[in-house]
Chain A
Amino acid sequence: MKSQIEISDLYKIFGPNPETVLKQARAGMEKTGILEKTAHTVALSGINLKIEKGEIFVIMGLSGSGKSTLLRHFNRLIEPTHGRIFFNGTDIMSMSPAELNIFRKRRMSMIFQHFVLMPHRMVIDNVAFGLEIQKISRKICYEKARKWIEIVDLQEYERSYPAELSGGMQQRVGIARALCTNPDILLMDEAFSSLDPMIRSEMQNKLLTLHKQLGKTIIFITHDLEEALHLGHRIAILKDGQISQIGTPSEILFKPKDDYVRGFTKNVNRTRILPIRTIMRPVPLQLSGETIESALHHMQKAHVNHGYVVMDKKYQGIVSRKQLEKIPEEQRKNKALNVIETQNGPPTLDSSMTIDKALIPALRYNHDLPVMNLTDGQLYGIITREDIASLLDKKDWDTAPILP
C-alpha cells in the first residue's frame, strides 16, 4: 500500500547558486566544508520519509537542524533544490500554482509556533479564514467556525480580538483555524513550544484526544524529546539537515542508532513516556476454576508464591500461598478459589498507562503487578519491580527489557 506522504532524496540548499552546490553535497561533501568553500547553507540533505495515514509523525531536532525548513516542504512554502514529494501518490512538485493553492486549501493546514493570528480579525474571522479564501459563503464559514471554536472551548471569545487572549487560548484558535478547513494533514511547527509547561501538557493531551476523534495525520515539529516521545507514533531525529534515525518512541529510547540520538535520550525519565506494555512479562501462574488444593499444587510446581485468578476470561485478583495454606487441609479439596480472598490486592493497571503510574503500587506491594486491559478485563501480563528499577537506573539501559 502507498504511504500518504512520501519524500524521496530531498535536498535544500540556501544561497545564490544552489544547483552547482547540490552536486558537491550529493558527492558527500560535509555541510561545514560547503559553507566555508561556497558560502551556501545545506539546510536539508538526502531526506527520505514515508508517513502513513492517521499517524502522528514527529520530526525532532535542535534549532538549526532544518526541521522547520523540512516541514515547509510538505506544502511547498519552501521549494526544494532537489527531490520529490508525493501526497497519496501524486507529485506535489508537478503542481501548478493554482493546483498548489487548492491543495493547500483542502489537504493540509498549518499550526505555527507563535500562533500568528491575524490581529485585525476577531477570533471567529480568524478561524473562518481558510474557508473564507475558498470563497465559501459567510454563513457557512461562520457555522463551521463556530463548531470548531466550541471544540477548542472558546465560545465566549468568538468576538474577541487575538490581543485579548492568552497564549494558550491563541494557540487553541490556531488549532481551530487549521481544523476548520477539514484537512487530511496537520502540519504543526513547534506548536506548543512557546506555551507555559502546564498549558503545554494540557494542549498535548487535547491534541491526543482530538487525534483519537478525528484520525488525521499529524506531522509535528519539536525540539523537546519528551514531547516527541509523548505524542509521536514515530519519530524522526534530524541533525544538520540529515535524518539520524526514524523509529517508534521505544526504538529511539532503547535502540539509539548513534551517539547523537543517545545523547538526546540520556536524561529522559523513561517511566513517564513508555507505556506499561513495553516492559510487560507473561503471567507466571494463571489460576481459574480449580480447587484450593490444586491451586497450591500449581504454585509449588511453578515455584511461585502468588497466583493470578482469572475467571470467564476476566481478571479477578491475586491469591498468595500463605493465604491458601491458612485454610484447613480437609476443606482444600472441595472448596473452590474464592474471590473474597483477593480483595486487598494492588490496583489494576492498564497496559497503555505510562510506567510511572505503576511506581507507587510497585513500592507498596511486594509482588509483581498484574497488567490488564481495563476495558474488557482481560489479564495481559505482569510487570516486575526489578524491570521498573532497571528502567530508572541509567546504568542498566543497554540491558533493559524491551518488548515490541
Chain B
Amino acid sequence: MFPDFGRYVQNFINENVNYIIFNFGDSFEAAANFLLIFLVGLERGLQAIPPWAIICLVGLLAYTAGRRITMALLLMSLMFLIGALGLWDQAIQTVAIILIAIMISVIIGLPTGILIARSSFFYTVITPFLDLMQTIPSFVYLLPVAMLFGLGKVPAILATVIYSTPPLVRLTSLGIRSVNAEIIEVARAFGSTPSQILRKVEIPLALPLIMQGLNQTIMMALSMVVVASMIGARGVGEIILLGLQRNDPGQGFLGGIVIVILAIIFDRISQSFGIRMQDYKRTSS
C-alpha cells in the first residue's frame, strides 16, 4: 500500500554522513580540539580551587543575587553535601561541561532570539528547527556527532547545546516582542538609532524573560548530563551510568541527588538575579 520511502531516506542520510566524515572529519576534529582546550582549561581551573573556596564562592553568588543570607547558607551546605557524598570531583567536571554548554547556548541563542523577534521571515523559518531540537531523541544525532568529533566531551557538549538552546531563543524573542510599542515610539521620537533602541530599551526590558530563558537552558543542560556520559563525558552522569550497569541502585541514587543539588543551586541563583532585575516594578506604597 505504501511506497518505500524509508529505505531511500535511510540510505541518503548514511551516504551523506559518511561523505562528511571522510571529507571533513579532520576539520571537525580540529574544531573539537579547540573547544576541548577551553573545556579542559576550565575544568583544571575549577579543580585547582580548593573546595572550601568554591563553597564560599557559591555563597557569595547566592547572596549578591538574592540578598538573603539564609538562601546563601542553604546553598553552601548543599555544596558541602556534594563533597560529603564523595562526588565532588565528578560534580566539578559536570559543572565545567555545563558552563561551556551554557556559554555556547548564550552566544548562539541571544542573537538568534533577537533575529527572530525582528523578522517574521526568520521566525517562521527557525521555529520548526527549535521544535526539532527539543523533541528529536538525542541518540539520533549523538551517533553521527560522535563519529564526527570522536567520543568524549565535545560531542557531549554539542548534544547539550542542541537540547538546551531553544528555550533561550524562544524567551529572548518573546521578551523583545513584548516590549511596549509605545516605548519604542518614544525612543524613536527622541532620535534613537535602531541599535540604541535595542541596547537601551529592548534588551533591558526583555531581560527578566531572557533570564527566565537562561534558567530553562541551565535546567535542560543538567538534564542532559546522563545522556552525555553515554558518549564518554566524565562527571556525575558517568556515576549514574555505572550504577545502572553494575546494578547498584545506591550509586545511581547518589548521582541523582547530586544532579538535583546542582540544579537547585543553578536555579536559585539565576532566578534571584532575574527577580532582582524587576525591582523597578515594585511601587513603594
Contact = CB atoms under 8 A, between A and B. Distances in A.
A114 B182 contact: yes
A129 B180 contact: no
Contact of A75 (B183, B189, B280): B189
B185 A77 contact: yes
Interface in A131-185: 132-134, 160-164, 181
B189 A104 contact: yes
B226 to A, nearest CB: 39
Contact of A116 (B183, B193, B279, B281): B183
A78 to B, nearest CB: 10
Contacts of A163: 280-283
Contacts of B207: 120
Interface in B41-73: none
A77 B188 contact: yes
Instruction: Give 4 nearest A-B pairs by CB, closest first.
Output: A105-B191, A104-B191, A161-B280, A110-B189
Contacts of A102: 191
Which one of A120, A130, A162 has the greatest number of beta carbons of chain B within 10 Å?
A120
Nearest to A105: B191
A377 to B, nearest CB: 46
B190 A120 contact: no
Interface of B: 180, 182-183, 185-193, 196, 200-201, 204-205, 207, 279-284
B200 to A, nearest CB: 7
Contacts of A105: 190-191
Contacts, number: 72
Contacts of B193: 101, 133
Contacts of A132: 200
Specify the main secondary structure of chain B where it touches its partner. helix
A164 B196 CA distance: 26
A130 B193 CA distance: 12
User: Quick one: which of A75, A77, A129, A133 has the most chain B CB within 10 A?
Assistant: A133
Contacts of A121: 280
A254 interface: no
A133 B192 contact: yes
Contacts of A112: 182, 185-186
Given A116-B180, A133-B200, A161-B280, A181 B190 contact: yes
A118 B191 contact: no
Given A161-B280, A163-B280, A163-B282, A120 B189 contact: no
A126 to B, nearest CB: 10
19 contacts: A77-B188, A102-B191, A105-B191, A108-B189, A109-B190, A110-B186, A116-B183, A116-B186, A119-B205, A120-B204, A120-B207, A121-B280, A129-B200, A133-B193, A160-B284, A161-B279, A161-B280, A163-B282, A187-B189
Contacts of B204: 120
A98 B281 CA distance: 34
Contacts of B201: 118
A401 to B, nearest CB: 44
Nearest to A180: B190
A380 interface: no
Nearest to A75: B189
Q: Which of B183, B186, B191, B192 has the most A CB atoms < 10 Å from its CB?
A: B191
Contact of B189 (A109, A118, A119): A109
B205 A120 contact: yes
A103 interface: yes
